[in-house]
Structures are given as C-alpha cells and as structure tokens.
C-alpha cells in the first residue's frame, strides 16, 4: 500500500445525525471526535473513525463506504480508473475536504478525500 493512503473512516449515511451520534456514543460507547451540527459527526471506534453523514453530506446515496485519505484526490482517481474503478461522483470540494466517490469493479462505493 502506498505511504500516502490510509483508511480514514467508515462512512455511515443517516437521516438523523444527532440521533445516530447519541446511539453510537451512548449505547455503544464511541467517543465523539467532531460534530458539524446535523451535517456530519465523527466518532472514535477503537482507532477507526466512524463517520456519520447527514443528508447534506451523504455522498454515497445511503450506502456505507470506506473512506480513504490520500495526498491528491485527482491523482488517486486517475490511478483507480486505470485499474477498473468507475466514477460515482467526480472530484468536488466539500465543506472540509476535497473528495470523490468511486465504485470498485464489484460496484462497492468508496470515498477518496484529502484535506483542503
């Protein structure tokens, strides 16, 4: 694996970020790392971040997905397209990062992102 790639989070879309945040923090015991109102929340799930995406941040159409942090989203997209991935959502600027959503050759969605 390339040194500049890491599993950044596991993305769970939800219609209600505050309710999902309460469920995973109170009932499961995950520590809250970050919350952006009803848009997005990040929890520590034992070294892996559980990312809760509200409707405004649901980039995967309601499907859970692994999110990989990369140094350059556009470069990573080109490399993955050459290897058989498909674009679900092209490179775009989100509120906190540059991101793209791809499908692997088996139609599983995954997110690539980099800090802005």
CATH of the domain at 91: 3.10.180.10
Question: Is 34 within a domain?
Answer: yes
Cα–Cα distance measured from residue 66 to residue 82, given in angstroms and rounded to the nearest whole number: 20
Residue 2 pLDDT: 59
Question: Is 1 within a domain?
Answer: no
Question: Is 89 within a domain?
Answer: yes
Residue 95 pLDDT: 86
Question: Is 53 within a domain?
Answer: yes
Cα–Cα distance measured from residue 28 to residue 55, given in angstroms and rounded to the nearest whole number: 23
Task: Note down pLDDT in tens along the chain; length 116 residues.
Answer: 456 899 999 999 999 999 999 999 999 999 999 999 999 999 999 999 999 999 999 999 999 999 999 999 999 999 999 999 999 999 999 888 999 999 999 999 999 999 98
Residue span of the structural domain in which 65 resides: 6-115
Q: How many CB atoms lie within 10 A of CB 101?
A: 23
Number of domains in the chain: 1
Question: Is 25 within a domain?
Answer: yes
Asked if 104 and 88 count as a contact pair (C-beta separation under 8 A), the reply is no
């Amino acid at each position: 694996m390339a040194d500049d790639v890491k599993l950044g989070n596991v993305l769970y879309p939800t219609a209600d970020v505050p309710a999902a945040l309460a469920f995973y923090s109170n009932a499961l015991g995950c520590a809250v790392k970050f919350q952006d109102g009803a848009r997005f929340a990040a929890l520590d799930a034992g070294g892996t971040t559980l990312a809760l995406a509200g409707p405004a941040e649901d980039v995967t159409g309601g499907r859970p997905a692994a999110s990989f942090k990369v140094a350059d989203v556009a470069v990573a997209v080109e490399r993955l397209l050459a290897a058989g991935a498909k674009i679900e959502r092209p490179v775009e600027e989100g509120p906190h990062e540059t991101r793209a959503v791809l499908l692997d050759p088996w139609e599983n969605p995954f997110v690539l992102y980099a800090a802005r």
